[in-house]
Structure 1
Amino acid sequence: MPTLFELFGFVLLLIETLTGMVGNGFIAIVNCIDWFRSRKLSSADMILSCLSLFRFAFHAVMIQVAIFNLFLVNPSLMLKLNIAYDSSSVFLNTTSLWFAAWLSVLYCVKITNFSHPLFLQMKRRFPGLVPWLLLGTVVFSAITTTVAITGSIIVSKCNLLDSHLNNNNDSAINTTSSCKFLILLYIFPNLFPFTIFLFSSILLLTSLWRHKNLLRNSARDVSTKVHLNAIKALASFSVLYVTNVFVGNLSIVFSRMGIYDIGVHFIFLNVMAAYSSGHALILIFISPKLKQESVKIKSKQH
């Protein structure tokens, strides 16, 4: 029987998940309609569309995981479902982290002004590389997910072997150590997009802050306000992104080390859902096109 804390975590997760699915679904639909009308899609809208679709699917998987963990009590069925949901969630989350990193890089090369030849070349070529980067990201995430899930099965077999080793000889110690290192198969793939995102976001925030100060010195209040809002939005998303990566890796460590508590698990899920939902709302708020479409929908409802 679920406790009151677990039910509260489930209800909160349900609200965050529905918010995220509506927000990300809205972004994907608006971009798809715009693509259908104009027969073309900008690099930013292409990344946003893919990011929103994968996040929508991630939210759908997440709420199913929560339902089965909370209400399903059949251990054998749970084992099979956990493997399937682990594969789906790891793949969707890793891909979404990469998409968000490419979005940050795209904004960085578009907005940031540096005179370095390498940066100028990247500024010219990066938008054209976006479709290939998105495709490569999906393939890379699929490969790393397969390796990670295979490693998870190996860990389970190793743990089963360790349970039959009653003596503390070197063989048992080496087996346990090698199994624990397999946790890195889950963590390493997320560190690459995290590093790219962090580096590009720092460059972008620094550039926006310097430009805001220049505008303030020239007394252009309207432009200063726009840049300040952009800085706040980017800073908020950066905090959400970093928190999501940290909590996701912590959840993996807890799970693979056999430290499992459903209440703590719901805390992890809620933080990850808040990241995806929060970023969708930020994107709708700062994008003129998305904001205009949301206002149209509200006016039609009234």
Structure 2
Amino acid sequence: MIPNQLTVFFMIIYLLESLTIIVQSSLIVAVLSREWVQVKRLSPVDMILISLGICRFCLQWSSVLYNFYSYFHPDNELWYIGVIWEFTNTLTFWLTSLLAVVYCVKVSSFTHAIFLWLRWRILRLIPRLLLGSLMISCVTIIVSTIRNYIKSQVISMMQLPGNNTETEILKSFLEKYYKHQNLAMLFIPFLLFLAAIILLIASLSQHLRQIRHHNADHSNSSMKVHASALRYFAFLLIFFTSYFLTIIISIKYILGYKSSWFWAWETLIYATVSIHLTSLMLSSSTLKKGLKVSCNGPKLPEAPGTTRL
């Protein structure tokens, strides 16, 4: 099948975005893995970021393979690649919501007993929460595999001669079930993300107002740090919400692979992903330090007897 010029344009943009996301994900994993080897430990945020990097890498490759194969071979469907995409996409949502919860617990100034307990326990809980996110996402694989198997059987039955009314009803039911399953799988972690980020922004805003009230000097360094953090988390809220809405719309109103609008929509989805990854990279001091070392080269060892300032 030969695509038209508009489709080719959006395909190229989509490929460039995919390449950017793959490079960003690889950098996150490489830098944090090196830090892990050197220091033998990672902060809770960096543990989640390295998991997100691996997840995004697999997600983007599965998206590229599935979309292009489905476009050029519409009669065949790589359903197992679609299952991998669903799994990694669900896991991405849970990891992002977990990251928002960690930020909320560590950065917010709430003094409630639950927040104080979580602040004390969060480092020990992260490995368990990561494992829990993985196990919840594994349910997606099981459910999607069963659904795709039933769907393939229904399609085979429809090719047989006779009355296909019942098989059409079953096929329609499976399509509706797929939409509702994906909505449920994504809505729960997104709701958790939304609650954590809104609480965090509310806490930072309240603290910023208190600093302004008690300090007449608006150039105070503490106030600048709080304002910068507030902008960052507002930015994170906007772009992850945009990603969630584009995914939900694409699930609810499935566009045909032959349509130029499908590829336009894919470019919109993964543009938000690339911006979201950039913001996550800028949020980690470990990543920023590691990227500077990679760009500028390793520092020369200090002479014996010198002191570090």
TM-score by length of 2: 0.83
Asked if 2 retains the 8 angstrom alpha-carbon contact of 1:21 and 1:56, the reply is yes
User: Are residues 1:268 and 2:265 paired?
Assistant: yes
Aligned to 1:209: 205
5+ residue gaps, structure 2: 298-309
Aligned to 2:235: 236
Asked if 1 retains the 8 angstrom alpha-carbon contact of 2:7 and 2:259, the reply is yes
Asked if 2 retains the 8 angstrom alpha-carbon contact of 1:101 and 1:196, the reply is yes
Cα distance in 1 between the residues matched to 2:164 and 2:127: 54
Q: Quick one: which amino acid aligns to residue 252 of structure 1? A: I
Give matches, 1:27-42, under 5 Å: 27-42=28-43
Aligned to 2:278: 281
Aligned to 2:4: 3
Cα distance in 1 between the residues matched to 2:136 and 2:96: 15
Q: Which moved more, 1:217-226 or 1:96-105?
A: 217-226
Cα distance in 2 between the residues matched to 1:285 and 1:297: 15
Cα distance in 2 between the residues matched to 1:179 and 1:20: 32
Q: Say what the alpha-carbon RMSD is for the aligned residues.
A: 2.7
Once the two structures are superposed, residues 32-70 of structure 1 have per-residue CA deviations (whole angstroms, 9 ceiling, x without a partner) of 111111111221111111011111111122222333244
Aligned to 1:84: 80
Q: Quick one: which amino acid aligns to residue 250 of structure 1? A: I
Aligned to 1:191: 187
Give matches, 1:125-274, under 5 Å: 125-155=121-151, 165=163, 175=170, 178-183=173-178, 184-217=180-213, 218=215, 219=217, 221=219, 222-255=221-254, 261-274=258-271
Cα distance in 1 between the residues matched to 2:26 and 2:163: 51
Whose helix fraction is larger, Structure 1's or Structure 2's? 1
Cα distance in 2 between the residues matched to 1:176 and 1:69: 19
Tell me the secondary structure at the aligned position of residue 41 of structure 1.
coil
Q: For residues 92 and 294 of structure 1, do their structure 2 counterparts lie closer, same or farther at Cα, with a shift above 3 Å needed? A: same
Cα distance in 2 between the residues matched to 1:282 and 1:96: 15
Instruction: State how many pairs are aligned.
Output: 291
User: Are residues 1:294 and 2:291 paired?
Assistant: yes
Cα distance in 1 between the residues matched to 2:17 and 2:265: 13
Q: For residues 259 and 25 of structure 1, do their structure 2 counterparts lie closer, same or farther at Cα, with a shift above 3 Å needed? A: closer
Aligned to 2:110: 114
User: What's the CA shift for 1:162?
Assistant: 7.9
Cα distance in 2 between the residues matched to 1:14 and 1:61: 13
Asked if 2 retains the 8 angstrom alpha-carbon contact of 1:62 and 1:269, the reply is no
Q: Quick one: which amino acid aligns to residue 194 of structure 2? A: L
User: What's the CA shift for 1:125?
Assistant: 2.2
Aligned to 2:58: 57
Asked if 2 retains the 8 angstrom alpha-carbon contact of 1:35 and 1:41, the reply is yes
Tell me the secondary structure at the aligned position of residue 182 of structure 1.
helix
Cα distance in 2 between the residues matched to 1:277 and 1:59: 11
Cα distance in 2 between the residues matched to 1:36 and 1:172: 55
Tell me the secondary structure at the aligned position of residue 36 of structure 1.
helix
User: What's the CA shift for 1:290?
Assistant: 2.1
User: What's the CA shift for 1:240?
Assistant: 1.8
Which is higher, the Rg of structure 1 or of structure 2? Answer: 2
Q: Quick one: which amino acid aligns to residue 31 of structure 1? A: L
Asked if 2 retains the 8 angstrom alpha-carbon contact of 1:148 and 1:186, the reply is no
Cα distance in 2 between the residues matched to 1:260 and 1:165: 29
Cα distance in 1 between the residues matched to 2:218 and 2:283: 20
Once the two structures are superposed, residues 176-219 of structure 1 have per-residue CA deviations (whole angstroms, 9 ceiling, x without a partner) of 77445412122211111111000001001111122222233312
State, as a whole percentage, how many aligned pairs show the same letter: 26
Cα distance in 2 between the residues matched to 1:228 and 1:161: 61
User: What's the CA shift for 1:146?
Assistant: 2.1
User: What's the CA shift for 1:155?
Assistant: 4.8
Cα distance in 1 between the residues matched to 2:114 and 2:208: 25
